[in-house]
């Protein structure tokens, strides 16, 4: 009994035997630095003001915690308070559900440069597949480089000063980026969690703002909210080098192995490496070697692994016969791979039967990225492949 009480106190709650529970991710994003001036607030500073952000979770749970990040900041980040609530329309929340988070028992927290913090465990009835609002009141100490995720595909809202849960949120600026938030975990025994390593197609470019219709959202919904689904895609990202955000070879430890409760990894990235390459044969070989390393690391961490084939280059700025040959070579290696648990053949799914090097016209937004209908089919197909392999 003494051991139980001590462990409960250490977790910040007395009523739940926390050591018997397992943290599992229900939402996450790949953090990065702002790429340009439009990736930071233009009208209202975050310093001493309030930011409200919306996320679409996968798993539900009765106890949660949030990870906040200053991973790319060279100075401390002061936060005066954070509360969560069920999201309503736009910037509005269901104030009756609002609860403040604590950090080692306090509402305020300072995140050191290049560090992350986790909130204390909080009892909160988080429903599967719901939208959750996270409201952060920042202090005066703000790093010059704020840790962000540029492609939120949802609107975030900034208000001058502090906004408490029952107050009207007076929007001073609206923008499609996330800041500071990195992940949400729930206590969930026996639940599986899928982490997806990807680029802008996984990040959801071409999906509908505020509609939560990226292919990973559709995957979570098709799986009935019974799996954690973590979208670790970054727009413009590469596996090897260059691109936007840290290349996958550099961020794999943090963005995949650093997540909690992940049982399955989906690797679906490489189109930017191929499309931007001037030495396509070398790039193809390097991609395959990187995939092999990812598979080995994931296996060592006890994960199942799925590989997604690379979708079409036709009718895009990436197109050439040499680049297409590289894509075909990599996809052939993926399809023949015997070291993974399954293949998600997105190329076969999305290609135009009349022009196989191009995406189906009715499913594309700019020929490189699918539209909402394309993402719908991709998410349902991925769920089908994962469920079939698990049978």
- pLDDT at position 5: 34
| Percent residues over pLDDT 70 in the chain | 95
| Helical (H) or strand (E) element with 290 | helix 280-300
Task: Band the pLDDT of 388: cuts 50, 70, 90.
Answer: confident
Q: What is the DSSP letter of 256?
A: I
Residue 349 has pLDDT above 50, yes or no: yes
Task: Band the pLDDT of 38: cuts 50, 70, 90.
Answer: very high
Residue 24 has pLDDT above 90, yes or no: yes
Report the pLDDT averaged over residues 8-25.
53
User: In the beta sheet, which residues pair with residue 79?
Assistant: 109, 138
Residue 4 has pLDDT above 80, yes or no: no
Report the pLDDT averaged over residues 187-194.
94
User: In the beta sheet, which residues pair with residue 343?
Assistant: 307
Residue 281 has pLDDT above 90, yes or no: yes
Cβ atoms < 10 Å from Cβ of 342? 19
Task: Band the pLDDT of 341: cuts 50, 70, 90.
Answer: very high
Residue with tokens 């539209």: 371
Q: Specify whether the CB–CB gap between 95 and 83 falls below 8 A.
A: no
- pLDDT at position 389: 81
As a whole number of angstroms, the distance between CA 106 and CA 8 comes to 17
Q: Are strands 77-86 and 109-111 parallel, antiparallel or unpaired?
A: antiparallel
Nearest in space to 253 (alpha carbons), one of 216, 281, 293: 293
Query: What is the model's pTM?
Result: 0.94
Residue 13 has pLDDT above 60, yes or no: no
Q: Specify whether the CB–CB gap between 310 and 271 falls below 8 A.
A: yes
Structure tokens given for 125 = 């009835």
Residue 8 has pLDDT above 70, yes or no: no
Residue 10 has pLDDT above 60, yes or no: no
- pLDDT 10s digits, 284-338: 999 999 999 999 999 999 999 999 999 999 999 999 999 999 999 999 999 999 9
As a whole number of angstroms, the distance between CA 171 and CA 90 comes to 10
Report the pLDDT averaged over residues 126-150.
97
How much is the mean pLDDT over the chain? 94
Cβ atoms < 10 Å from Cβ of 300? 9
Residue 182 has pLDDT above 80, yes or no: yes
- pLDDT at position 2: 37
- pLDDT 10s digits, 227-265: 999 999 999 999 999 999 999 999 999 999 999 999 999
- pLDDT at position 340: 97
Report the pLDDT averaged over residues 205-216.
98
Task: Band the pLDDT of 21: cuts 50, 70, 90.
Answer: low
């Amino acid at each position: 009994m003494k051991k139980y009480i001590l462990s409960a106190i250490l977790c910040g709650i007395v009523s739940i035997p926390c050591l018997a529970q397992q943290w599992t991710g229900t939402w996450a994003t790949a953090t990065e630095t702002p790429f340009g001036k439009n990736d930071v607030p233009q009208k209202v500073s975050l310093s001493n003001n309030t930011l409200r952000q919306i996320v679409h979770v996968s798993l539900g749970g009765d106890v949660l915690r949030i990870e906040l990040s200053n991973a790319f900041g060279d100075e401390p980040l002061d936060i005066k308070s954070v509360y969560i609530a069920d999201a309503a329309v736009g910037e509005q929340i269901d104030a009756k559900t609002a609860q403040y988070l604590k950090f080692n028992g306090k509402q305020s927290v300072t995140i050191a440069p290049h560090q992350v913090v986790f909130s204390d465990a909080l009892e909160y009835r988080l429903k599967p597949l719901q939208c959750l609002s996270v409201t952060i009141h920042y202090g005066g100490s703000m790093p010059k480089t704020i840790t962000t995720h540029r492609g939120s595909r949802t609107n975030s809202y900034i208000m001058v000063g502090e906004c408490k849960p029952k107050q009207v949120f007076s929007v001073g600026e609206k923008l499609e980026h996330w800041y500071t938030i990195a992940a949400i975990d729930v206590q969930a025994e026996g639940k599986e969690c899928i982490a997806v390593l990807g680029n802008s197609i996984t990040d959801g470019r071409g999906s509908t703002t505020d509609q939560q219709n990226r292919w990973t959202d559709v995957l979570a919904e098709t799986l009935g909210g019974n799996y954690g689904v973590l979208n670790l895609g970054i727009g413009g990202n590469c596996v090897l080098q260059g691109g936007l955000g840290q290349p996958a070879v550099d961020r794999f430890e943090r963005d995949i192995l650093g997540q909690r409760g992940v049982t399955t990894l989906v690797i679906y990235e490489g189109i930017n490496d191929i499309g931007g390459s001037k030495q396509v044969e070398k790039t193809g070989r390097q991609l395959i070697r990187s995939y092999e390393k990812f598979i080995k690391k994931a296996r060592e961490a006890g994960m199942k692994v799925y590989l997604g084939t690379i979708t079409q280059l036709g009718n895009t700025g990436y197109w050439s016969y040499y680049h297409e040959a590289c894509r075909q070579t990599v996809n052939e290696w993926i399809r023949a791979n015997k070291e993974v648990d399954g293949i998600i053949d997105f190329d076969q799914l999305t290609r135009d039967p009349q022009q196989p090097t191009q995406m189906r016209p009715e499913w594309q937004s700019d020929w490189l990225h699918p539209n909402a209908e394309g993402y719908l089919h991709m998410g349902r197909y991925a769920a089908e492949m994962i469920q079939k392999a698990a049978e």
